[in-house]
A and B are shown apart, each in its own frame.
Chain A
Amino acid sequence: MTDSIPIGEDELEAYFDGCLLPQRAAAVEAYLAAHPEAAARLARYAEQQQALRAALQSKFDEPIPAHMLLPSILLRRRQLRRAIVLRIAAAVFLVLAGGVGGWYANDWTDGLRGPLWHARANAVDAYRTFIADDRHPVELRASQKPQLVRWLSSRLDRPIEIPDLSTLGFHLMGGRLLPTAHAPAAQLMYDDGRGTRLTLYLQPMAVRGTEFRYSEIGGVRTVYWARREMAFAVTAAAGRRRVLQVAHDVYDQLSGAPK
């Protein structure tokens, strides 16, 4: 024997498993030839291994269930991922909608469909109806202002003042009476002489006074509020700032604040 390093159990088994360093193979073979009991033990291991492999072979040969195949796993994974993305998107949307909605929730502090909401809806409907009417945008013209004031005051059952918006460039065209589900309402129309018309809507209703509220639908902006049992709405297809200025002016004049 050229190699004098003693043979250990690990080397015997490495030889058995084909994992032995090649230069030690001869030494192990010589050892096994000289030690039949060790050779017999390895032979026994070989039988065990063979038997174990044989006993498990049928599991290896079993057809693979379809749900275990990779394409179906990849598909489920994609579907799951898509569902998660959608869920995240929905959550983000709800958060954003909550923020934006918070701004408009002002509109709805009287309840989603409170009386003021209806007043504003009426105001916008009436604006849309009569603003584009070439022949009869108003029932009584500005030239008949005293009759208009008397008529509206009588039908609305309270003194109606007609604000003067000339400092903001709007001149009174006239006004009309409007039906509502409750008592009649009034619409006053103004024109700036450059194609922009504006309406002031007045509807008597038993509501508490409110701050200014704002809504915008398709470029038509409305600032509305309630004061002394009357709902007011200034509506125009004009810039938000301009509509708000008019609303302030109306508010000041009708509150009797000194000009």
Chain B
Amino acid sequence: MPDSVFLIEPYIPALRRYAFALTRDHAAADDLVQDCLERAVARWPLRRRSGDVRSWLFAILHNLFISRWRQARRQPHHQMLDDAASAVAGGQDGVLIGRDILRAFNALSADHKAVLLLVGVEGLSYEETGRALGIPIGTVMSRLSRAREALRRHMEGETSATSLRRVK
């Protein structure tokens, strides 16, 4: 069995999580990951040995997402946020928090989502994130800082809106 099997396969769950968080659509996410894996297998002999497999895989996935997302923007696609959120949020109190955080997260730009996911959820270093997104480390850091702040504002906006409705 070729080494690509052992080196790529462990990252499939993370790739699916990343693709789902960006698309909020299970089928679209799985399509993205499937295409990403097929490309990865095809380009496996061409990849730079020095780079790590994980950021290389995320780079392929992210580029696929960007090109699809640009196409999709031309034909508006409506995704029910609540459905998507409830589909992933687990646990009892988790449901509410999960829904809030995903709703707030979904309001962010794709660039902000990408850095938050890669650094915060997937645990990539700044350097690996920069490699995956094709941007310098300085850009990763400033983008991350703005993304966290934006997410915080959206979360607080959500809660205050909810409490307002509750007061009424």
Contacts and interface: CB of A to CB of B under 8 A. Distances in A.
Interface of A: 9-10, 13-14, 17, 19, 41, 44-45, 48-49, 51-62, 64-65, 67-71, 73-74, 77
B135 to A, nearest CB: 15
A51 B101 contact: yes
A68 B37 CA distance: 8
A60 B16 contact: yes
Contacts of B119: 17
Interface string B70-100: 0000000000000001001111001001101
Interface string B18-48: 0011000000011001100110011000000
A48 B155 contact: yes
12 contacts: A9-B145, A19-B125, A41-B152, A59-B20, A60-B13, A62-B16, A64-B12, A64-B13, A67-B34, A68-B12, A68-B30, A68-B33
Given A19-B126, A71-B5, A74-B2, A14 B34 contact: no
A14 B119 CA distance: 11
A69 B9 contact: yes
B73 to A, nearest CB: 23
B17 interface: yes
A52 to B, nearest CB: 5
B120 interface: yes
Nearest 10 pairs between A and B by C-beta?
A55-B98, A51-B101, A49-B120, A70-B5, A60-B17, A59-B17, A10-B141, A59-B20, A60-B13, A58-B90
Of the candidates A10, A14, A70, the one having the most CB atoms from chain B within 10 angstroms of its own CB is A70
Interface of B: 1-2, 4-5, 8-9, 12-14, 16-17, 20-21, 29-30, 33-34, 37-38, 41-42, 85, 88-91, 94, 97-98, 100-102, 105, 116-117, 119-121, 125-126, 141-142, 144-145, 148, 151-152, 155
Contacts of B4: 70, 74
Contact of B37 (A48, A59, A73): A73
Given A17-B126, A65-B30, A70 B97 contact: no
B88 A48 contact: no
Contacts, number: 106
A65 to B, nearest CB: 7
Given A60-B17, A68-B37, 20 more contacts: A9-B145, A13-B144, A13-B145, A17-B144, A45-B152, A51-B97, A52-B102, A53-B120, A53-B121, A54-B97, A55-B89, A56-B17, A59-B16, A59-B17, A60-B13, A61-B13, A69-B9, A71-B5, A74-B2, A77-B38
A64 B126 contact: no
Contacts of A77: 38, 41-42
Chain B interface helix/strand/loop/mixed: helix
Contact of B148 (A48, A62, A67, A70): A48
B90 to A, nearest CB: 5
Nearest to B19: A59
Contacts of A65: 30
A142 to B, nearest CB: 75
A49 B144 CA distance: 12
A33 B86 CA distance: 39
Nearest to B102: A55
Nearest to A53: B121
Contacts of B105: 52
A10 to B, nearest CB: 5
B57 to A, nearest CB: 12
B152 A48 contact: yes
A86 B42 CA distance: 19
Nearest to A42: B148
